[in-house]
Amino acid sequence: MLGGSWRAVGRGYGRDSEATQAWFAVEVGARAEVALSRHVALHVEADVLVPFTRPTLEIRDRSEILHATTPALGALLSAGPLLRF
């Protein structure tokens, strides 16, 4: 399980506004390592994040309302060398 906070600041459109909301998500992923030598390996990691809540920011002006919502799914991908001593 992952968690954090989402912060947005709006300036110059109607009135200035700021919002901070907490978020929580489940992480599902896969990891792999390929040994290149005794001390060096290639590490690959891929994750999908499924949020429990989707924070929304609402910006109001005299003539319209804009909504910003976080995505329904997120993805993380990382790859690189892994050194062992």
> Using one digit for the tens of pLDDT, what is the confidence trace for 42-84?
999 999 988 887 777 776 666 777 777 777 888 889 999 999 8
Report DSSP state, residue 65. Answer: E
Residue 20, beta-bridge partner list? 7
pLDDT at 20: 80
pLDDT at 64: 72
pLDDT digits (tens, 9 = 90+) for 2-53: 788 777 777 766 667 777 878 788 989 999 999 999 999 999 999 998 888 7
Number of domain units in the chain = 1
Domain for residue 14, yes or no? Answer: no
Domain for residue 60, yes or no? Answer: yes
Q: Are 47 and 76 in contact (CB under 8 A)?
A: yes
Domain for residue 72, yes or no? Answer: yes
Host domain of residue 50: 3-9+21-83
Domain for residue 16, yes or no? Answer: no
To the question of pTM greater than 0.85 for the whole model, the response is no
**What is d(CA 5, CA 85) in angstroms, rounded to the nearest whole number?**
36
Domain for residue 67, yes or no? Answer: yes
Domain for residue 65, yes or no? Answer: yes
- Chain centroid, CA 51 distance in Å: 10
Residue 29, beta-bridge partner list? 47
**What is d(CA 82, CA 63) in angstroms, rounded to the nearest whole number?**
54
